Chain A
Amino acid sequence: MNILLAEDEPKIRQGLRAIIEDVVKNELRILEADNGKTAFEMFRTSERMDLVITDIRMKEMDGLELLRRIKQEQKDTPIVVISGHDEFEYAREALRYGVMDYLLKPIERVELARVLARIQAEGKGGPAGDESPEPDKERLVIRKVKELIQQSLEQEISLQFLAERVYLHPKYLSETFKRETGQNLSDYVTERRIAKARQLLSGTTLKVAEVAAMCGIPNHKYFASLFKQHTGATPTEYRERG
């Protein structure tokens, strides 16, 4: 995997390299540049890059300019921006050039690791295999979580609640679920709840408020709003339509 790293501060550059080395175990080649100009030179002269990670503020040539040029040169190169700036202007411009992700300093190891994993997966055209030493066990956990959610739709479901029952750290559970299913845990829970609501609305004559309560969303107005977001119809409309 070829990665171009453009960052003017050597400490950060070294740190990033360390993280990348932690995540990507094989066939890794990292090119480092301390400004945009050097980075662009490297990009043009060396072989095809699988990922470009760049800071925004750098001497000679800044990150945005670098982005623009790389996109001109080779449109489909994945780029990740790491910046201390979260000003809207920067982010918008970066997004216009089609960056893959926009990470804010100080970055969390996990965030960067996730991005790397995604690129690796896309590059191989399937889920990364070498990263999960016990894939079966992982899938088992996900299945357990999904079962738990299905059983608990009526009550409150919090990340903590699920994490306790599968003996995992909440954050880790959340990450794992996202990685395994490509979906946020909270989105999954809401989806299941709405699915149950559809069932109840078409299959029973329970009142909307009762359906809402049975789907773990006691505030029926909020429930109606969520329901409409997911199905395009209010619960009443949905029921009338059959």
Chain B
Amino acid sequence: MLPSRLFPTFVSLRTKMLVLFCLMVTVPFLLSGAITYSKYSARAAKDAQAYSDQLAEQVAINLERYIQELERITLSLYYDDNALDILTRHDGGFRTGNYLASDESFKMNQLISSAIYERTEVAGVFIFALDGSLFSNLQETSKSSWLPQENEWMREAEADDGGLTVLPPASSPNYLTNVPEVASIARLIKNPYTNAKLGFVKVDLTSSGFEKILSSVRITENSKLYIFNRNGEMIYPFDSNQEGLAAGNPEEEALNDRLRQDGRTLVSERETGYGGLRIMGIIPRSDLQKDARELISFILWISLASLLAAYLISVLASNQLVKPIRSLYMKMKRVQNGELGERAPIMTNDEIGLLTAGFNGMVAQLDKNIKEIYELGIREKQAELSALQSQINPHFLYNTLESISMAAGRDRQDELSRVISSLGKLLRYTVNRQESKVTLREELDFVENYLSIQSFRLEDRLRADIRVDFSHESVLVPKLLLQPLVENAIEHGMGSKPLTLTLTTKADEQDLLIRIEDDGRGIGPERLNQIERILAEVEPIRAESVSGTGNREKGFALRNIHRRLRILYGESYGLSLDKSRTQGAAVHVRIPFQWGES
């Protein structure tokens, strides 16, 4: 279809449009999706960081207040003289198996209970006297004495020297039954006056207090908050094993290390101004990206949907575009095959419409031109003919011929008279073109008239021998078939020697063969080939051949008869030359054996 040199493969306009449409839809969508995603998730991380920092700050403040409140419990001892008295009384050397006086125990109990009133998260408050006595608000469930090896934390509290010590969750040994897992705050009790060591106070806390503070704070679904004490030991949540961290110090570092290693989390850290607690908020990045992911999948779905829509639209649009082009192409093909009457309907009002209109105009012009040239030829012929007919009316012509003939006859010029008579018949036969097929007899009469005139001209140099079986005389043949062939034979065969023409017919199956041969100069092999080529030409007879030179017309006379026969009877009929002859020439006419039914 297209020159393959320029276009290696044929890619239809539709395919190109489809690809273009899809690219136009997908590329911007995916690009904007990717940009949105990265921007959005970065923004989300930033926001989350700020938010979690803020929260950690808030938590730190709350926690600090909480610790201060709890501290007040421990401090209440300092403002209670009874408690100080009791502790002073018990500051002797350490021993086991101390007996607690019930009034002392009662007083202490009352003191503590009033301090922790309505603080449900407090599991218990213990006051450790130096002689090993243990006071508590829990009368039945707590021990009444303590052992130094069970209370390692005292060294730390002692080091703080009256400051607040926050202890990580542990099983407290000071309970008799139902030993709870508690975090504690503890401090050393000193005599406010002498600054002498009096004992220790320890407040055991269940996790509910922390939970209350932290529960209101939740950044994302999987975010976590950790609280560590000064030493990096985990205060909250209580069960450090749950986090997959090995128990032991310092847990904060371990957690930090792990978080920094995987990098999949956002971390916010704050330290309380009081109590030395550190708060660490951890937000998994996946939580942050969740929204972005949702957004991205949303974008992907939309782009998929619009891709589908674009495909459909492009199919429709390309149909709209390609259909008129296709139909135009089809029309062009038909015009190419010579159907000049074809016109393409203008379906769209755009460039294709213009193209179609242009095509129509072009074909119409072409058609018109061809018709004009063709019709002009015919008209000219008609004009010539009618001019001829009007100028020389038959009456005038034939009467003139008759006069000449009679004049000749009167002078005993019988031959002349005969020739004139033949000429008249010749003219009559040629001009009367009413029927296209005549009997072979009529055609032969015409040829004989023609030969009679020719022999008058050529005298002894022309002899004719017509051998046609009587039964062939009624076969129908195209009018004016034989005379041009005879004329051709005389024209080309006549040399210095007399020429003998022989016309014979033969029935061959359902065909009739007419053979016109002469013993003249013959046809040279070159000329023979040329004639064969002319006969083989498939092109229709053009107008130019009609007005061509005389020399050309000779060859065309054969071709015109040949083509006429093929048009009338089919491809297997027509003229052929006998190439086997070494002398003279022979033309064969093959036509179907047809006869008029009478």
Q: Which residues of A contact B (CB under 8 A)?
A: 9, 11-16, 18-19, 57, 84-86, 104-109, 156-161, 170, 185-186, 189-190, 193, 216-219, 221-222, 225-226, 229
Contacts and interface: CB of A to CB of B under 8 A. Distances in A.
B417 A109 contact: yes
A222 B470 CA distance: 13
B406 A18 contact: yes
Interface of B: 394-395, 397-399, 401-407, 409-410, 414, 417-418, 420-421, 423-425, 428, 432, 441, 465-471, 473, 475, 505-507, 509-510, 512, 593, 595, 597-598
17 contacts: A11-B403, A13-B406, A84-B394, A85-B395, A86-B428, A104-B425, A105-B424, A106-B401, A109-B414, A109-B418, A156-B467, A157-B469, A160-B465, A185-B470, A186-B473, A190-B471, A229-B598
B415 to A, nearest CB: 11
Contacts of B432: 86
B470 A190 contact: yes
Given A190-B470, A217-B471, A222-B593, A57 B395 contact: yes
Given A156-B505, A193-B471, 8 more contacts: A11-B407, A15-B410, A106-B404, A109-B418, A156-B469, A158-B466, A158-B470, A219-B510
- B contact patch SS: helix
Contact of B399 (A9, A159, A225): A9
A189 B406 contact: no
B409 A160 contact: no
B402 A9 contact: yes
Contacts of B468: 158-159
B397, B398, B402, B428 — which one has the most chain A CB atoms within 10 A of its CB?
Answer: B402
A12 B409 CA distance: 10
Given A106-B401, A108-B421, A85 B407 contact: no
A6 B468 CA distance: 40
Contacts of A11: 403, 406-407
B247 to A, nearest CB: 123
Contacts of B407: 11, 15
A106 B471 contact: no
A15 B400 CA distance: 13
A106 B409 contact: no
A15 B409 contact: yes
B101 to A, nearest CB: 157
A94 to B, nearest CB: 16
Given A106-B421, A157-B469, A222-B471, A15 B402 contact: yes
A215 to B, nearest CB: 9
Contacts of A159: 466, 468, 470
